[in-house]
Amino acid sequence: MKQNREQITSGMNTFKKVMKYIGSFRILLVLSILTACGSVVLSLYSPILFGDAIDGMISAGNVDFSLVQYYLSRILLVVVSSGILTWLMNMINNRMTYRVVQEIRNEAIRHLQVLPLSYLDSHSSGDLESRIIADVDQLSDGLLLGFTQLFSGVVTIIFTLIFMLSKSVIVTLIVIVLTPLSFFAAKYIASHSYRMFKQQSSTRGEETALIEEMISGQKVVQAFGYEERSSARFQEINERLKDSSWKATFYSSLTNPSTRFVNSIIYAIVALAGAMLIAAGSLTVGGLSVLLSYANQYMKPFNDISSVITELQNALACAGRVFEVIEAEPESKDPTEQLNTENGLITAEDISFSYMKERPLLEHVSFTANPGTRIAIVGPTGCGKTTLINLLMRFYDVNEGVIKADDVDIRTVARHSLRKRYGMVLQDTWLKDGTVRENITFGKPNATKEEQIAACKKAHSWEFIRRMPQGLDTIITEDSLSQGQKQLLCITRVMLCVPSVLILDEATSSIDTRTELQIQDAFDQLMEGRTSFVVAHRLSTIRSADEILVMKDGKIIERGNHNALMKQNGFYHQLYESQFAKAE
């Protein structure tokens, strides 16, 4: 019982949020209501005309043809006018629905850009894609059905009662008294179907995430023979999706026949009461036909509304998942102060950090990177090397301590002004679908063609770029290049920006040895006079560093240049002997 109340409250809160977006299009909303009212009034007026026409030809030899013709011509005009208004209402509802959905999707994407990496790391990309694409589409379908049938249905019920009162107060009261039966049936079923639709939407997101994960890593899946286990995982999720979808469909499908059953009983009672009134002489045959038509029209919106409620349950469940993204806590507010200096001095003072409170990662780390120095960061896997880079870039904020750039706490300046100082090449490459030029000018869109080509030559990517059909203007995708070529383009992107601080995290891991040596020369030139942080396992990079930070278990346990650390005969010496001696 408590769970049902929570679900109803959650659904109402989501509905209020959707209505706020709809409120931005008040003019369209008012036009929709007006056209719905006009269409309904005209459609309800036609039964009166039919009743009057029936009363004009009630007995053989006593037919008023001129009166019948008059009413038939008016019926034709009313039906055509009602059809035009219905068409206009549908056009307005379509426009309003897609504008609302467009706004929700735009806000979801905008908010996604300001969410902290901790949120993105804890949610799979497939699930987020499902929320913004599939769930918003479901919301669109629910809103469209709601605007089209819910508004016109409510208006039909109100005006039908008014028209019925003008014909017979007794019959109208009978209908009103019996109406709650339909409400109770619809409410009982709707409370169960919402939970099922919410579960269906959540499971659909889980399935989308798995599909995206398996397709993007298909080579690894096949290389390690994971196909059967992958299929088994998909089958398990798909089975849960089938169950939740079946239950949601089953409960929702009960709504219409249940309300139709109640409505048929009400229709029969109206017919019986009307027949008795005719026998008493207080109602005509034409009047009864009008009342029966109204009784049918009065009950039809309840059937439509029950279907709409079912669809809205699904739509609101999907909208709730979208609003979870929109309302997620954004990263801390960005200060307005800009970091204008570019000296390259980076200082970490007693910093500590953990992704989860119960599992400390970095503890009391301190170092100073003077302008123009090269800092190598080495250590076993999981010791916190990449995490340290994330903190320098302020992808995450430290839990304790402070990181300074040119003696300024990086938390007190705008993130963009900090990050534009850095040029970063990671082991994991990222390219967007577009031209080669668009990808390499990502950080410097106003670069000239000469600057672009010069950067390509420095990064040794020009050799394969110039062989492409349109050169720099060739359209590429994530899968159209080899891993090495993608990494060369990422290096070119940094070469073009010429940043004051350089961060290389296994930047040449996917490149052949000969090209790596050439790129290393280019990096040496680029790092000249610039502060550089290098996370690497390559001997040449480490030996040429001004200072080596040796990390283990989230702490810097040794520091110094190569020769000094080798003389200490400590952890670095062991690391060097195990990983680099043979290569040397």
pLDDT in tens, 310-359: 677 778 778 888 888 888 888 777 788 888 777 888 999 999 998 877 78
β-strand partners of 460: none
pLDDT value, residue 306: 63
DSSP summary character for residue 5:
H
User: How crowded is the C-beta side of 537, counted as CA atoms within 13 Å?
Assistant: 13
- Alpha carbon distance 85, 42 (integer Å): 9
pLDDT value, residue 351: 92
Label residue 382 left, alpha or beta by phi (over 0 means left) and psi (-120 to 50 means alpha). left
Rounded to 5°, the CA angle 280-286-289 comes to: 95
Taking the alpha carbons of 84, 87, 93, 94 in that order, is the dihedral positive or negative?
negative
Rounded to a whole number of angstroms, the distance between the first and last alpha carbons of the chain is 71
pLDDT value, residue 186: 66
- Listed in sequence order, the residues at least 6 apart from 110 whose beta carbon sits closer than 8 Å to its beta carbon are none
pLDDT value, residue 49: 76
- Alpha carbon distance 580, 68 (integer Å): 104
Assign 3-class secondary structure to 62-124: ECCHHHHHHHHHHHHHHHHHHHHHHHHHHHHHHHHHHHHHHHHHHHHHHHHHHCCHHHHHHCC
Taking the alpha carbons of 296, 298, 304, 309 in that order, is the dihedral positive or negative?
negative
Task: Provide the residue-wise pLDDT of the chain in tens; the chain has 584 residues.
Answer: 444 555 556 667 887 888 888 878 888 888 888 888 888 888 877 777 777 777 666 655 566 777 777 878 888 888 899 889 889 988 888 888 888 888 888 988 888 888 888 788 778 777 888 888 888 888 887 777 776 677 777 777 787 778 777 777 887 787 777 777 766 766 666 666 667 777 887 788 788 878 877 777 776 777 767 788 888 888 888 888 888 888 877 777 776 677 777 777 777 777 787 778 777 777 776 667 777 777 777 767 766 666 677 677 778 778 888 888 888 888 777 788 888 777 888 999 999 998 877 788 888 899 999 988 889 898 887 788 888 888 988 888 888 999 998 888 998 888 888 888 888 887 777 888 888 998 888 888 888 999 999 988 888 888 889 898 898 999 988 778 887 788 888 888 888 887 888 888 876 666 667 767 766 776 777 777 788 888 865 655 677 788 999 988 888 899 998 889 888 888 888 877 776 555 55
Inter-residue contact 389 to 375 (CB < 8 Å)? no
Q: Domain 334-421+533-584's class?
A: alpha beta
Inter-residue contact 524 to 536 (CB < 8 Å)? no
Q: Which two tokens stand for residue 449?
A: 């063609």
Amino acid at 243: D
pLDDT value, residue 403: 92
pLDDT value, residue 541: 65
Burial degree of 100 (CB within 10 A; 0-12, 13-18, 19+) = buried
pLDDT value, residue 580: 58
pLDDT value, residue 10: 66
- Alpha carbon distance 292, 274 (integer Å): 8
β-bridge pairing 547-552 and 374-378 = parallel
pLDDT value, residue 349: 92
pLDDT value, residue 153: 76
- Alpha carbon distance 524, 543 (integer Å): 13
* Domain assignments of the chain as residue spans, ordered by start: 2-25+96-326, 334-421+533-584
pLDDT value, residue 487: 80
Residue 1 CB coordination number (10 Å): 5
DSSP 322-388: HHHHHTSPPSPPPPS---------EEEEEEEE-SBTTB--EEEEEEEE-TT-EEEEE-STTSSHHHH
Architecture of the domain whose range is 2-25+96-326: Up-down Bundle (1.20)
Q: One fold for both 2-25+96-326 and 334-421+533-584?
A: no
Residue 351 backbone dihedrals phi, psi, to 5 degrees: -90, 145
- Listed in sequence order, the residues at least 6 apart from 576 whose beta carbon sits closer than 8 Å to its beta carbon are 565, 566
DSSP summary character for residue 448:
-
Closest CA to 112 of 416, 330, 380: 330
Q: Which two tokens stand for residue 204?
A: 């659909």
